[in-house]
Amino acid sequence: MQQAPDADEFGTKSLIFLDQLLTIREGDKAVNFTDQEIIDQCVTMLVAGADTTGGAMSTTCLFLAMYPEVQDKVVAELNAVFSSDSIQITHDTLQQLRYTEQVIKETLRLVPVGVLMARETKFEETLHGVRIPPKQIIMYNLYTYHRRKDIWGADADQFDPDRFEPERADKRHRFAYIPFVAGQRTCIGQRYAMLSMKILLLRVLQEYRLWTDLKYSELRFKFEVTMRLVGPHRVWLTKRNK
C-alpha cells in the first residue's frame, strides 16, 4: 500500500528566513524574486547579524574583564545551569541564564550597536508642544537616550547589570530600553542575537578568565554604521583551573 505523501515542508507556521523568501514566490500574491536577489538578501542577513553580534560580544567581554565580580557571578550561573556535559544547550536551558542576560542587556544599554535611528512620521504628531507634520524624518540617538538620568537614575552612565532585575525593569516604560528598536520595525534577529551571545559566553567563560588593563572611565566611542570603541579592546584570556 502506497504511503501518503509527507506534508509540505514549507507548510509550517514558523519559517526560517530563507524559507520565507522561497515561499513568497508562490501563490496568488507571489513576488518575483530572482535566485540572485534571494542570495543577496541571505548574505545581507548573515553579514549584518555577524557584525552586530560580534561587536556586542566584544564589548560584553570587555565589561566582564573590567568588573571581575560580575564575571564571577556570570560564571557561577553558567556552571550551575550547565553543571555537567550531559546537559544540552537548548532554548529552555539558555533561558535560565537570567543574570547573564542582565549583563548583556546592560552592555547594550551603554553601548548600543546601532546608535542613530530614524523614523518617518505617517501622520501629524505633537511632541511636548512641538507640531511635527507628516512625512518628516525624525532621528534619535540611542547612546544618549539610554543614559537619561530621569529614566535610569543619577548613575545612568555606570555599568550595573542589576538595573535589569525583573522588579526594577518592570517599573520602567516599555520603550525606555530599545537596543533592537521597537514596534513594527523591531530587529528580526533579536532573539537569535541574545541566544547566540549566551552560547558564546558559555563557551568562553567556562574555559577562560577574562582580564584587561583598560578602565571604564577611559573608554571612548565613535559612531560609524555601528558603534565602535576607539582603540583596541585589549582583553586577555587566561585558562581556568578546573
The set of residues, in sequence order, having a beta carbon less than 8 Å from that of 80 and lying 6+ positions away, is: none
In whole angstroms, give the CA distance from residue 34 to residue 44.
15
Q: Which of 163, 159, 197, 174 is nearest to 65 (CA)?
A: 159
- Beta-bridge partner residues of 169: none
- Is 42 a known ligand-binding residue? no
Instruction: Report the binding-site residues for heme.
Output: 187
Instruction: Report the binding-site residues.
Output: 187
